[in-house]
Structure 1
Amino acid sequence: MWVCSLGLIAGCTAPVPSGEGTVTRRTAQPAAVAQADDLEDAYQRVIRDVLPSVVQIQTGSELGSGVVYDDKGHIVTNAHVVGDARIFRVTTASSREALAATLVYSYPEQDLAVIRLNRVPSGLKPAAFGDSTKVEVGQIVLAMGSPLGLSSSVTQGIVSATGRTVSEPSTGGGTGATIANMVQTSAAINPGNSGGALVNLDGQVIGIPTLAAVDPGLGDSPAPGIGFAIPASMVRTIADQIVRDGRVTDSGRAALGITGRTYVDAEFQPAGVAVVEVRTGGPADKAGIETGDVITGLGDTDITTITSLAEALAEARPGQRTTVTLMRDGGRKTVEVTLGEQ
């Protein structure tokens, strides 16, 4: 957006007749160049400040990215980056050789994980994490990571939207997590960017790039300019618990306490979530929900698939009271439930 508007100022306006109180194309040109130089300086300043805090993570033959979380060697990344591995090789922007690291804890439900360097090198620089509640659409952002194994790569874009609820695939290395309040960005997010940093021009990490949309019309190739990042506030909430307690003790994620599957009707169309199992003493059990029930609504939200139920729960909070609409023995029933924690 900046480049487009600067181009209009510099070369798309007609000359103004010279005279007192007028501005000619000749005098407008340096102002446009100065603005472009200022923006370029801002990019380079942020890159110098933040890139040393972005690392490459290798798990066997797979590569991903991570962000230095503190001066004790903790690194935050995506759960799908660490996968089932427990030991890793980490390369920082300034290191000549890979450093050994081990898993602290992985939390696939939010697609976040923390690993820790076995030896903390001198000069290790933690990143500064910003307040993702202050992120606004249109902000310029930079994505830093190791796309396709190209370490210390930087792309640029804007915040395209906030508050997105996105479900990851459970195949192809995804965790199947449904994540609320994600930041959508036009900055290029490619395989290997996962776990890296989405950074504002104040040099603050506002999100962890996690996945890109795919375009079925292009054979499920990444859709250009549609990527998603886990907001920094959620990253800090989860990472702080892992660093402090070695696990997640307060997820903040609502749950019904069931195991379910997508139910299809007589026309083979998704029509709800069939309850396969009810956890004893859980919210669904206390509300009277039974195995064999088909959930068709949560509050005011229609439920047609297990994904739509996960997305509705992702936007709720533990302890929240709501209603569950369900089908049982050919009839329709509504029960009140107090949501638990995942």
Structure 2
Amino acid sequence: MLPATPPQTAAPADDVAATFGRPDGVEGSFAPGGAPVDRPQPHIAPPDPVLAEAFSRPAGESDTLQRDPYAVPEPEDVPEPDPWRSADSTASLASPAVAAAPVNGPTTFGPKLGIREVLFGGRVHWWALATLGVLTLLVGMFGGLVGRWTAEVVTPLHSNSVKLDGSAPDTDESRGAVARVVKAAQKSVVTVEVRTAVDGGSGSGFIVDKAGYIVTNNHVISKAANDSKAKLEVVFFDRQRVPARIVGRDIRTDLAVLKVDDVADLTVAKLGDSDKVQIGEEVIAFGSPLGFDKTVTSGIVSAVGRAVPLRPDADSDTDAVINAIQTDAAINPGNSGGPLLNDDAQVIGVNTAGAMTGGGSIGLGFAIPISEAIPIANTLIKTGKVNHPTIGISASTVRNDRIFGAQVRDVADGSAAARAGLREGDVITKFDGKHIEGADELTVAVRTSKIDEAVKFTYWRDGRYFDGEITPVSD
């Protein structure tokens, strides 16, 4: 078996060996002493001047890399401490910061300055200054002449030649529909005044006959009717004041008729047909609200057939439910009893009540239809009293998820309702062709029916509807 042969390594190139090889005579990494060099050695180029300046040792330093730790640096020039910047400095006197100016002798005043020196620094000649003054004077004179001329052109504030004339063309033609209605009806409207020993009140009315009959509301003259010492007067359009008497009154309809005597040339109001009134048509309310006579307000018909209850109070014994015409024409206290007029100056209602908040009209006024007021007034003029139909029940409004109507609370023995078979708890939903949604609607329907004439009605009992017939009788 042949002995192992060590691997052979190629010899380095001469220039590589010269640069990185050991010097001649040096076998290991360290040599005790230098060996003669008999072959080319690497040449170290001088360092770059910039690098030498940046990294070389300072001048005067030893060749060692480490400085002497015990060497004492030469003292540097340290400026003297500033006493103003040291908290430990003591107070001391020093030279003044600014040297005092030398004191001169007494000052003498020079010549006074003139216009040339003040305005122009003495650089303008006298003749130029004089020319400037003349030009200024000329400009001022010219401006004054222009101002005077413009002042004469402007019209003066006061004049003796102006005279205001408020005369209009002489014509008797009324301008506007409301004005025409007012002109036609104004002489037929009156103010009704009641005075007692302790207080008084006023309302309105309108003439219905040349004999001196006047229609108004019962609540207007209620105090006079209940107090024999009360004074009742009617004030006409021309301010003529005349005593009046009560012909008759009806607390169930809130209507009354008055009469005045020995008054000539009375203007009678034209009566219309309230059954033909249309919602939305224009109307005019005439009267004396709050005592302001001959007051006119206008609006439209807002609704018809509105059941409005009128209950007794300290000033009135009226206890009625009126089948009202609703209007947004302003109706305030004092308008009561006055006429509600259409565009033809015809009375279609008697102003009676108004819904109010804070004491003033809110556009909810109510009037008794004239078609219902005429038969009441005729009866009062003939007999002084009015009888109304009744069926002999008391009722209340019921509205729930099952039924709307007037629920019977009590049935009088032997009454028309008892003969018709009505019982307590029955709910009347229809009467004489009118739908009933509450007790007020039933009251109006019964009152507008006729005595001793049978009418159809519908009622609800135990979840079922029944039809019946009833004959109202006189109250």
Shared fold per TM-score greater than 0.5: yes
Count of aligned pairs: 284
1:94 aligns with 2:238: yes
User: Which residue in 1 is equivalent to 2:118?
Assistant: none
The aligned amino acid for 2:470 is: T
Q: Take 2:340 and 2:393, find their aligned partners in 1: how far apart are those partners?
A: 35
How far the C-alpha of 1:45 sits from its partner, in A, is 2.6
The aligned amino acid for 1:285 is: A
> Relative to 1, partners in 2 of residues 1:47 and 1:72: Cα closer, same or farther, differing over 3 Å?
same
> Relative to 1, partners in 2 of residues 1:307 and 1:73: Cα closer, same or farther, differing over 3 Å?
same
How far the C-alpha of 1:208 sits from its partner, in A, is 0.7
Partner residue of 2:210 out of 59, 71, 90: 71
> Relative to 1, partners in 2 of residues 1:326 and 1:83: Cα closer, same or farther, differing over 3 Å?
farther
1:80 aligns with 2:219: yes
User: Which residue in 1 is equivalent to 2:284?
Assistant: 142
Partner residue of 1:198 out of 340, 343, 353: 340
Equivalent residues in 2 for 1:146-157, closer than 5 Å: 146-157=288-299
The aligned amino acid for 2:285 is: A
Q: Take 2:395 and 2:281, find their aligned partners in 1: how far apart are those partners?
A: 40
Q: Does the 8 Å CA contact 1:258/1:278 hold for their aligned counterparts?
A: yes
User: Which residue in 2 is equivalent to 1:47?
Assistant: 182
Equivalent residues in 2 for 1:1-342, closer than 5 Å: 40-60=175-195, 61-86=200-225, 88-96=232-240, 98-117=241-260, 119-171=261-313, 173=316, 175-180=318-323, 182-214=324-356, 218=357, 221-222=359-360, 224-248=362-386, 251=388, 254-259=389-394, 272-275=407-410, 278=412, 280=414, 282-289=415-422, 293-299=424-430, 306-307=439-440, 309-311=442-444, 313=446, 318-325=453-460, 336-341=468-473
Q: What is the percent sequence identity of the aligned residues?
A: 35
Q: Take 2:313 and 2:435, find their aligned partners in 1: how far apart are those partners?
A: 26
The aligned amino acid for 2:188 is: S
Greater share of residues in strand: 1
User: Which one has a bigger Cα radius of gyration?
Assistant: 2
| Root-mean-square deviation over aligned CA pairs | 3.3
Q: Take 2:317 and 2:461, find their aligned partners in 1: how far apart are those partners?
A: 30
Q: Take 1:198 and 1:93, find their aligned partners in 2: how far apart are those partners?
A: 17
Mean Cα deviation higher: 70-79 or 164-173: 164-173
The aligned amino acid for 2:232 is: F
The aligned amino acid for 1:75 is: I
Q: Take 1:259 and 1:338, find their aligned partners in 2: how far apart are those partners?
A: 15
Q: Take 1:195 and 1:89, find their aligned partners in 2: how far apart are those partners?
A: 14
How far the C-alpha of 1:150 sits from its partner, in A, is 0.8
Q: Take 2:312 and 2:253, find their aligned partners in 1: how far apart are those partners?
A: 13
Q: Take 2:194 and 2:350, find their aligned partners in 1: how far apart are those partners?
A: 19
Q: Does the 8 Å CA contact 2:283/2:298 hold for their aligned counterparts?
A: yes
What SS does the corresponding residue of 1:85 show, helix, strand or coil?
helix
**Cα deviation per residue 1:37-65 (whole Å; 9 max; x = unaligned)?**
x9834322321221111111112202111
User: Which residue in 2 is equivalent to 1:24?
Assistant: none
Q: Does the 8 Å CA contact 1:287/1:335 hold for their aligned counterparts?
A: no
What SS does the corresponding residue of 2:219 show, helix, strand or coil?
helix
> Relative to 1, partners in 2 of residues 1:289 and 1:53: Cα closer, same or farther, differing over 3 Å?
same
Mean Cα deviation higher: 170-179 or 42-51: 170-179
**TM-score (norm: length of structure 2):** 0.53
**Cα deviation per residue 1:142-198 (whole Å; 9 max; x = unaligned)?**
111110011111111122222323222344647231222x22111100001010011
Q: Does the 8 Å CA contact 2:194/2:223 hold for their aligned counterparts?
A: no
Mean Cα deviation higher: 310-319 or 137-146: 310-319
Q: Take 2:413 and 2:385, find their aligned partners in 1: how far apart are those partners?
A: 22
Q: Which has the higher contact order (CA 8 A, sep 6+)?
A: 1
Mean Cα deviation higher: 74-83 or 314-323: 314-323
Unaligned runs of 5+ in 2: 1-172, 226-230
Q: Does the 8 Å CA contact 1:258/1:279 hold for their aligned counterparts?
A: no
What SS does the corresponding residue of 1:157 show, helix, strand or coil?
strand
**Cα deviation per residue 1:6-26 (whole Å; 9 max; x = unaligned)?**
xxxxxxxxxxxxxxxxxxxxx
Q: Take 2:332 and 2:392, find their aligned partners in 1: how far apart are those partners?
A: 35
What SS does the corresponding residue of 1:83 show, helix, strand or coil?
helix
Q: Take 1:41 and 1:271, find their aligned partners in 2: how far apart are those partners?
A: 46
**TM-score (norm: length of structure 1):** 0.72
**Cα deviation per residue 1:193-212 (whole Å; 9 max; x = unaligned)?**
01001112211111111111
Q: Does the 8 Å CA contact 2:354/2:364 hold for their aligned counterparts?
A: yes
